[in-house]
């Protein structure tokens, strides 16, 4: 007997229920109530004449028939998602690229450079996916992404943009008001803030690491103020006069425009080569649009490195205190 297949929405609901083995969590994922999920699953069972879940008062479990259908539905939905993503890429063609990147990188690094990109490539349009979630290139209709990590991603080409180096900064007002920081140890008497971040054994450079690199011994970091993001550190430095640790690449514009002043020729590099990478699918390394964007990004990153290097060479760190016009 020929059986009519359930619709895609119903199958997605069933797949979520089979993956979570919990109607409440499945409901949260698909945007329904638990009762609606239960009802849809029951409708599928009646439509197909199959018992897909064994239900008890405390839990649900896939039946052998449910396991077979669950695996097939998962594969079918994934294949369909890949096809939709690829169809979207083909329809856009090489004149439009979808770029996924985090809000921090977008705000502090990319968007200030967007006009320069548009001027250099007027025929290449960008569509943005601003998120910190890791996108799947096969199903999320993404051409390129900016990711923070070690650059090792299965099935993807990865190009490092720059090193992550954390430096000490203050606001120009601190120096204009007469503050004098003759040596790194002078910062111990200040309000110090930094970004608190950990991924496994990897830790974002903190004040203890910076002081060690600066040759300061017996530093007590118990009074340091931790923030969840560098943008909060920068805001505290500008608004309250604190001394902060910030990622050099992400504050280059603040330094160049005089909103921040770098203190001392000391920087701590992120361990494990963790930094920002431009990534794209292996199979699209010949795509003209992707290659144009990659080359432009690398040129911009190199230009920033050269500017920061020239500024460092021009600095005179032998002075008693940094001048307000320093970068």
**DSSP string covering 124-164:** -EEEEEE-SS---TTTS--SEEEEEESS--TTEEEEE----
Mean pLDDT of the chain: 86
d(CA 233, CA 224): 12
Q: Is the pLDDT of residue 312 over 70?
A: no
Give the pLDDT mean for 35-46.
Answer: 92
Alpha carbon distances (Å) from 305 to 118, 233, 249, 258, 277: 22, 23, 8, 18, 15
Residue 307: pLDDT band by 50, 70, 90 thresholds? confident
Closest CA to 193 of 213, 171, 215, 221: 221
Residue 311 pLDDT: 55
Residue 94 pLDDT: 59
Q: Side-chain half-sphere of 94: how many Cα atoms within 13 Å?
A: 11
> Please, which residues have CB within 8 angstroms of residue 264's CB and are 6 or more apart in sequence?
168, 181, 184, 214, 317, 322
pLDDT digits (tens, 9 = 90+) for 189-239: 899 999 999 988 899 999 999 999 999 988 999 999 999 988 899 999 999
Residue 245 pLDDT: 97
Residue 181 pLDDT: 86
pLDDT digits (tens, 9 = 90+) for 232-242: 999 999 998 89
pLDDT digits (tens, 9 = 90+) for 170-182: 999 888 876 778 8
pTM of the full predicted structure? Answer: 0.68
Residue 323: pLDDT band by 50, 70, 90 thresholds? very low
Residue 257 pLDDT: 85
Which residues lie across from 146 on neighbouring strands? 278
Residue 92 pLDDT: 64
Radius of gyration of the chain (CA): 26
d(CA 49, CA 61): 18
Does residue 274 contact residue 164 with C-beta atoms inside 8 Å? yes
> Please, which residues have CB within 8 angstroms of residue 50's CB and are 6 or more apart in sequence?
65, 66, 69
The DSSP element (H or E) to which 99 belongs, if any, is: strand 96-101
Alpha carbon distances (Å) from 155 to 261, 291, 314: 41, 17, 43
> Please, which residues have CB within 8 angstroms of residue 15's CB and are 6 or more apart in sequence?
70, 73, 74, 77
Residue 319 pLDDT: 34
- DSSP at 82: H
pLDDT digits (tens, 9 = 90+) for 85-135: 677 767 666 578 999 999 989 988 999 999 999 999 998 999 999 998 888
Angle, CA of 41, 43 and 48, to the nearest 5°? 100
Alpha carbon distances (Å) from 100 to 79, 132, 133, 322: 22, 9, 9, 38
Q: Is the pLDDT of residue 48 over 80?
A: yes
Residue 2: pLDDT band by 50, 70, 90 thresholds? low
């Amino acid at each position: 007997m020929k059986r009519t297949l359930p619709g895609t929405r119903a199958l997605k609901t069933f797949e979520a229920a089979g993956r979570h083995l919990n109607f409440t969590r499945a409901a949260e994922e698909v945007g329904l109530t638990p009762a609606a999920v239960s009802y849809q699953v029951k409708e599928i069972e009646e439509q197909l004449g199959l018992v897909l879940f064994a239900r008890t008062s405390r839990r649900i479990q896939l039946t052998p028939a449910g396991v077979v259908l669950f695996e097939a539905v998962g594969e079918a939905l994934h294949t369909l998602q890949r096809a939709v993503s690829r169809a979207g890429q083909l329809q856009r063609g090489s004149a439009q690229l979808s770029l996924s990147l985090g809000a921090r990188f977008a705000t502090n690094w990319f968007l200030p450079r967007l006009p320069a990109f548009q001027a250099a490539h007027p025929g290449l349009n960008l569509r943005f996916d601003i998120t910190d979630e890791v996108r799947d290139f096969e199903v999320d209709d993404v051409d390129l992404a900016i990711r923070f990590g070690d650059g090792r991603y299965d099935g993807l080409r990865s190009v490092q943009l720059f090193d992550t180096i954390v430096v000490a900064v203050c606001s120009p007002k601190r120096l204009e008001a007469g503050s004098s920081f003759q040596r790194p140890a002078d910062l111990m008497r200040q309000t110090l803030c930094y970004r608190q971040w950990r991924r496994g054994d990897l830790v974002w450079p903190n004040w203890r690491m910076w002081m060690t690199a600066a040759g300061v011994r017996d530093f007590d970091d118990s009074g340091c103020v931790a923030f969840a993001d560098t943008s909060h550190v920068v805001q505290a430095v500008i608004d309250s006069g604190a001394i902060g640790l910030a990622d050099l690449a992400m504050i280059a514009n603040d330094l160049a425009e005089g909103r921040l002043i770098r203190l001392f020729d000391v920087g701590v590099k992120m361990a494990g080569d963790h930094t920002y990478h431009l990534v794209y699918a292996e199979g699209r390394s010949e795509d003209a649009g992707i290659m144009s964007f990659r080359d432009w990004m690398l040129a911009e990153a190199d230009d920033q490195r050269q500017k920061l290097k020239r500024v460092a060479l021009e600095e005179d760190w032998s002075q008693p205190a940094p001048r307000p016009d320093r970068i």
